[in-house]
DNA sequence: TGTACATCAGTGAACGCGCGTTCACTGATGTAC
DNA sequence: TGTACATCAGTGAACGCGCGTTCACTGATGTAC
């Protein structure tokens, strides 16, 4: 049942999008091609009409997850998809983005959240292409954050941004790991406090 | 070929120890019972003479990884297994432990390093028993760290310690993820700087 | 514009493989007398 | 202390299952004339 070029391209995009969520929800190893194609409303057999391997779709899904995070980061705080605590949005955009990242909503929303927090340790063991995508994504985020530190040199801003992003990723990862909601909430709150103060 | 009780107990301990390293090296999903038993010098068939399931050995291996980290943490800095930058050990023991955790040596030594940095995102999807072990381990680390903040209230120390541990885990995870050694080094250096300053 | 044919997105069965788990078997260890 | 028997740590083959990947097939789409 051949589809038109546009339909095929749309299908491909749909696979990448749903795969991106599935990977974040169940992990790279925990998501099979069957799950992945099923989530896109297809059967697994057609997978190789769109991709050369599982690693390729992992790579593209990661890239898309990063891209959508970068886009959300660039938006004005009030347009962010997740709830922003009242009174915070008044500060600079970075503060709002940090509050968004470290919100309980983001913590609860693995499938739509930061790919680094969802897949961190699995990414350290991924193939060269995936790790390259991950690295370029981190540097993209770093540039976005660093642009909000106008009072220090670009080099210092970059360093500070690396600290901001890595500590935020750690906070959300650990907050998701512990099974005590009070501890999770405290971790996120403390991270917000320390990154706002700096 | 029945073994004596002592030999069997030693074998069991050896399985848990080597499994703990294998899990950190290749991930929970990436380590099969075959790899795990092979690393202990055995064949896979005997696994169920010691454990009820893979989850049980994951749980015990995680607990042991945490325990050995807690023990190393409690030791005097000079006795730590990893190199400590000269001049740092003079400060309080926490500073040395932080410098150790955020050292390039720890970053390079996944199999013997912190289980949270090695397995973070996989632990968020683990079974109830494993997540419970992970949670208790984090709280144990937090108590150890908080004991080094004598000038603030216990509650404030605990909160500060949660920030310290979660941001360190994030730093090492991201440092291992990126494929640019200079970026990795900067992440670790920045984390050291910010956690020493606080 | 119509016709004939090649292309190819998607289906569903099948491939070999490694997974977690089970089991019959071996033979040294532990135990009962 | 010696003997007979039960126990069980460890081996290696086997189980069913789901994995990533391949393939024959279908039939609508795209293309050449």
Supply the pLDDT for residue B51: 98
B173 and A169 within 8 Å at the Cβ level: the answer is yes
- The stretch B155-179 carries a mean pLDDT of 98
Task: Provide the percentage of residues in chain B whose pLDDT is more than 70.
Answer: 92
The Cα–Cα gap between B134 and B26 comes to 18
In this structure, the number of other CB atoms found within 10 A of the CB of residue A6 comes to 8
- The stretch B133-145 carries a mean pLDDT of 97
Supply the pLDDT for residue A89: 45
The DSSP 8-state label assigned to residue A75 in this structure reads S
- CA distances to A111, A153, A169, B98 from B180, rounded to whole Å, are 27, 22, 18, 23
Both tokens of A147, joined, read: 């642009």
Supply the pLDDT for residue B89: 45
| CA atoms within 13 Å, Cβ hemisphere of B18 | 16
Taking the CA atoms of chain A, what radius of gyration do you get in angstroms? 18
Residue A132 is inside which H or E element, if any?
A: helix A128-146
| A183 CA: distance to closest CA in chain B (Å) | 9
Q: Is residue B77's pLDDT more than 80?
A: no
Instruction: Give every residue of chain A whose pLDDT is below 70, as ranges.
Output: 76-81, 83-91
Supply the pLDDT for residue A83: 58
- Tokens 């340790």 locate to A121
Q: DSSP readout, A166-190? A: HHHHHHHHHHHH-S-HHHHHHHHHH
- Condensed to tens digits (0 to 9), the pLDDT of residues A172-185 reads 999 999 999 999 99
Q: Which of B121, B175, B180 sits opposite A122 (nearest CB)?
A: B121
B124 and A176 within 8 Å at the Cβ level: the answer is yes
| CA atoms within 13 Å, Cβ hemisphere of A159 | 15
Chain B hits for A185, Cβ within 8 Å: none
Supply the pLDDT for residue A74: 79
- pLDDT class for B31, splitting at 50, 70, 90? very high
Supply the pLDDT for residue B176: 98
Which range (A98-102, B36-40, B74-78) has the least confidence? B74-78
Counting other chains too, the contacts that A96-99 makes at CB distance below 8 Å and 24 or more residues apart are A97/A73, A97/A145, A98/A164, A98/A168, A98/A192, A98/A195, A98/A196, A99/A192, A99/A196
Q: Is residue B87's pLDDT more than 50?
A: no
- Condensed to tens digits (0 to 9), the pLDDT of residues B51-67 reads 999 999 999 999 999 99
Supply the pLDDT for residue A75: 77
DSSP-derived 3-state class of residue B42: coil
Supply the pLDDT for residue B74: 79
Contacts of B145 (CB under 8 A, 6+ apart): B94, B97, B160, B161, B164, B165
* Mean pLDDT (chain B, rounded): 93
Q: Is residue B127's pLDDT more than 80?
A: yes
Chain B hits for A23, Cβ within 8 Å: none
Contacts of A62 (CB under 8 A, 6+ apart): A20, A23, A115, A119, A123, A130, A133, A134, A137
How far in angstroms lies nucleotide C33's C1' from the CA of residue A128? 68
A29 and B26 within 8 Å at the Cβ level: the answer is no
| A8 CA: distance to closest CA in chain B (Å) | 33
């Amino acid at each position: 049942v051949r589809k038109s070029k546009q339909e095929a391209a749309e299908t491909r995009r749909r696979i990448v999008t749903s795969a991106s969520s599935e990977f974040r929800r169940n992990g790279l190893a925990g998501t099979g091609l069957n799950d992945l194609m099923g989530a896109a409303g297809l059967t697994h057999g057609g997978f190789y009409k769109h991709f050369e391997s599982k690693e390729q779709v992992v790579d593209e899904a990661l890239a898309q997850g990063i891209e959508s995070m970068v886009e959300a980061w660039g938006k004005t705080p009030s347009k962010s998809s997740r709830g922003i605590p009242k009174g915070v949005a008044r500060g600079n955009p970075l503060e709002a983005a940090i509050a968004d990242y470290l919100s309980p909503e983001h913590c609860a929303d693995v499938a739509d959240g930061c790919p680094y927090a969802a897949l961190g340790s699995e990414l350290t063991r991924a193939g060269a292409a995936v790790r390259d995508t991950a690295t370029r994504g981190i540097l993209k985020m770093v540039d976005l954050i660093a642009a909000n530190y106008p009072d220090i040199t670009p080099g210092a801003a970059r360093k500070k941004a690396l600290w901001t992003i890595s500590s935020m990723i750690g906070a959300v990862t650990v907050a998701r790991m512990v099974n005590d909601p009070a501890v999770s909430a405290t971790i996120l709150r403390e991270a917000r406090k320390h990154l706002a103060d700096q």
